[in-house]
Each structure stands twice: as C-alpha cells, then as structure tokens.
Chain A
Amino acid sequence: MSYNFDEIIQTLRMTELDHFDIRTVTLGISLRDCASRNVETTAQKIYDKITRTAERHVENARRVEKLYGISIANKRIAVTPVAIACDGLNSDEFVKVAHALDRAARECGVDYIAGYSALVQKGYTNGDRELIKSIPQALAETGRVCSSVNVASTKAGINMNAVLEMAHVIKKTAVLTQEQDGIGCAKLVVFCNVPEDNPFVAGAFHGVTEAEVVLNVGISGPGVVLDAIRRLGKTDFMQLAEEIKKTSFKITRAGEIIGRKTAEGLGVPFGIVDLSLAPTPAIGDSIADIIEAMGLESVGAPGTTAALALLNESVKKGGIMATSSVGGMSGAFIPVSEDQGMIRAAEKGHLSLEKLEAMTSVCSVGLDMIAIPGKTPAETIAGIIADECAIGMVNNKTTAVRILPIHGKDVGEFVDYGGLLGRAPIMPVRNLDSSVFVTRGGQIPPPIRSLTN
C-alpha cells in the first residue's frame, strides 16, 4: 500500500475527533476600479464586481471540501480598504457602500465580508476620516460587514488621534448595537502593523499591493495539536516543540493543498497560507487547553506566556517547511469568547486583561473578543489600544484590539453571541484614569528599530 495504514487513520482521526478543519478560504477582491462620480454608481459597481467575482466561491469551496473530506469552516470575502477605494465619499455615502457590501455578501452566500477599513497610522485623508466616522452606523445597519482600522506601525509610530477616535467609535458601536449585546464591536478591529493578506475576518482586507483577485487560506487545528501533546505525555521542551512542529507541518500541508485547489477551481491566483492556530468554542478546539496540557494548572498561571511562545514558534517552524507562501497573521490566536478554555479561566478570574496583554507580545493578534463593562470610559479603552499598539510597534509585529464594552452590563455578567463568536464573561478593567495621557494628541514617534536601512 502506498500509504501507511496509520497515516490514513491519523488523518481521519484529525478530522473526525480533533476538529481539524480549514478555518477559512477568503477571496480577496480589488475594488480599486469601482470609484465613480456618484455614490449610487460606486455602490452598484462594487456590488456587481463582488457578486460576479465571488459567484462560485462558496460552491467551489464545498466541492473541494467533499473531494478531500476536510471541512472548510468559513468561506469569506475581503475587499480593498473601502476608504482607499472610495476616498471621495462622505460618511453617509460610506454607509451606502456598506449596504452594498452586505447585499453582495448575502448574494454570494458568505457570512462575513471584510474590508470596511482605513489605514491611518500616519495620518488621515478626507476619506479615512469620513469612513471612520461612519463605522458605528455601518456596523449597526448591516449584518455581514466587518471593519478594521490600522492606527499604528513600526515605521510610522502610533497615531494617537486615531487611537482615541477609535475608542469612541468602539463605544458608539456598542451603544448602537446594544440590543444584540454590542455585536458590532465583534466586527471591528483596531490594528498595529496590519497584514495586507490576512484571510481571517474581522481584520481581513485585500491589500492595495495585491493582485486583482487572490485566494488566501487560514488553517486551524488547536484540537490536533492538543491531541498530539496529550499523547506525548511528559517530555522535555525540545521534544514537545518537535511534536508541535510535526503536527503543524501536516496541518499546513493540508491547508496549502486545499487553498491551491480552491484557487484553481475558481481560476484565480493562490495567495498565502496563514499559519494561525485559531480556536473555536467547540470543546477541545482550544489554545488554552494546549497551554494547560503543557503542564499549567490554568491559562493565566505564571508560565503561560512562555508556553504560548513555545507553541507559536513551533507552529511557525513546522508550517514554514510545509508551504512556500506564508502570510497573514501566522501565529496562535487567543480570543477569549471563542475559546472554551479561555472563557473558563476568565470566569474563574485566572486571566486578567494585563496577562492577556503580556501574552499578545508572543502570539499573533492581540486583545481579542474581550468583553468589558459598558461604563468603561473611551479614554481607558484608548489607553488599552495604545498599549497594544506599543507592543506591536516596538516588536515589529501585528497586534490588534477587538474589545466589547457591553452597554448596561458589568463584571460578573456574560455576553453570549452563539456560533463561532461564542460567549464571554465581562472582565474587570483597572479603574484608573488615562485621559490626560491619551488626549495629548498627535503621533507617538516610531522606535529606533524602524530605521533599518
């Protein structure tokens, strides 16, 4: 037999028992040719282009799923940052574009479309300013549109005006979507060093240097890594890292072939594989469980950051051998509401905002899907965003904040979105004033390491 009996069984074990799936195939579509003299025509051109390009996206991905017996959890679309594609619009007009994106997503059968975005790390254009102003309304009036704003980078430093403005935007979005527990905030990410080829919604968009259309893939597989670590038992760190690398290699190869075949079926170029371990609320599909399987009583215990660093580095090392096209975030995700183990730890008080912040210095995203009291002042949220940006800026890595100030709720209560977004306990935020600092205005200058030439 050309395949070993155990290899075939192992693959089935991965898909059937360990929740192994491909997290997302995301079709990136350029909207740079859609601007026109009036907003109705622009919105129509955007709708037409997306529905034409992505018409077979879902159907094609289902065919690939069936062929290989590996499920693709999400089929999504990312577009050129709308502030760039439609720089001349005002905020009311941007909302119309958001509706066009929403309708296009519904027509194509995708649950989320991302790219209602602006890149303002060094300053605003008029369009950036108008788009940002429109975000709360756009997210409240649409169901599938996701938004992101990049406010900092290693090269540019931190645009503190944008940081403060985004804190207000988050608060306003939470209020406008309060009937659904502030779900708008789950579709809004503030970034530092945002990658332009990230396939993971909500922070995805189709970068301006990308080709016309491209298909990117995001792998998953915390369950598979967890199973491998549990089977390994107690070994030294070198063996532990080796086991994670081997597992990551297999996951990435599967992601690579599924991405390539999906792109081939659509007749579009294949972009990148994002080597991120993305958890889901399913039992066993958890990053926290992996950290605990390494020997910590709970995620949040001293040693957590080291365990996460070991995991993240090993996933990348295994993955890099498996594909030549690495991109996106490529690191472990630690969203609180989407990971059973994280929820458990947050509920018991083992996990604080500060510990999560420390963890984000060694993994891929940042403070992700964290519910906080609705009464938290915008200036405090701005302080939280600024801290995350500082970690990203100084360490030359992506960081992000997707925080949910739940209107009318406080510590001890829960927010429950169901599905992949999961549920989160409302975590306490330090009741200390940051307002004088965050309202200084202007730019935090870039670090020494930005001068690399």
Chain B
Amino acid sequence: MKKLTQQEIEKITQAAIRELGPGASPEKITQIVNDVVAELEKGAPSIALSASGKPAEGRVIVTAFGKNQPGVVYKITKILFELNLDIQDVSQKIVQDFFTLIIIVDMAASGGDFNQLKTRMTQLGDEMGIRLFVQHEDIFKSMYRV
C-alpha cells in the first residue's frame, strides 16, 4: 500500500479535467480522482512512474554476445515477433566461434513494453548461456552524436 503525494494527486486531477473537457463538473472530478487514488493506493504501480517511465517511445538496441550455436537469431527474433516489435536493422559479426548480434527495434510503432522485452531477453540469455543487453537508443545517441 502506497500513499500518493499531494503533487501526484494534483496531477491526476489535472488529467481528469483535461479528459472531461467541457463536461467537467466539480462532483464528477472529485469522484474520478477519488476512484483513481483509491485504486492506485491499493498497490497498483506508481502513477508517476507509469506516466513518465513508459519507455515505449523511441528505439531500443538489443545486443547479443556469445558462443555461436544454432537457433540464436531465431530465438531472439521469435521474442521480438511475439511482443509485436518491429525490427528496423540487424547487424551481425562472427569471429571464430563467437558471434555479436545487434538489432535495432522500434518500440513506438507497436507500443511495446520495455520491461517485458528486457525480462524475456534476460531469461533467454540465461537459458542459452549468452549475454543479451537491451538498452534505449538515447544513450548511444547522446554518447556518439553531437
């Protein structure tokens, strides 16, 4: 159970007013805000986190490293397919027995869930004994582009 801060409740109120538009009456707003606050305080995920923390915007870079084995690309792309994520670019190199695979995935188009993608990839990495990294592209953009 988590208490919402005054600031968070104000945010909810403002959102309710915006959504209701001309149909907003003080009673209606109070009811909606009370309902939402009660729901969230029951233990639903933090409102501000889901509002500002949805990393579905932009692109995500999936990098895989490891010993080459049959089915690596298949298993990784299968997860992307199941999560309905759009692959924008793929690049792969194999040196001796080791492969490096980089896939750029667009999250925005499909409204994908970053956390889900990360969890699935980490699981797959553990199962196959390879290293899988999932990172938002902003980090690369800021480090390598002026």
Residue numbers of A with Cβ under 8 A of B are 1-5, 7-9, 11-12, 16, 52, 55-56, 59-60, 63, 66-70, 250, 253-254, 256-257, 261, 264-267, 321
Contact = CB atoms under 8 A, between A and B. Distances in A.
B138 A5 contact: no
A71 to B, nearest CB: 12
A63 B55 CA distance: 10
Contacts of B85: none
A423 B66 CA distance: 36
Interface in B116-141: 118, 131, 133-140
A8 B52 contact: no
A177 to B, nearest CB: 36
Say what secondary structure dominates the interface of chain B.
mixed
Given A12-B63, A68-B135, A257-B139, A2 B115 contact: no
B111 to A, nearest CB: 16
Interface in B76-127: 89, 91, 93, 100, 102, 104, 114-115, 118
Contacts of A67: 55, 114, 135-136
Contacts of A257: 138-139, 142
A428 B48 CA distance: 53
Contacts of B114: 67
B63 A66 contact: no
Contacts of A69: 133-135, 139
A59 B2 CA distance: 13
B119 to A, nearest CB: 10
B48 A267 contact: yes
B91 A5 contact: yes
Contacts of A321: 146
Contact of B144 (A3, A12, A59, A68): A3
B116 to A, nearest CB: 12
B12 interface: no
B91 A11 contact: no
8 contacts: A1-B89, A1-B104, A2-B89, A5-B102, A56-B46, A261-B138, A265-B53, A267-B52
A250 B144 contact: yes
Contacts of A254: 139, 142-143
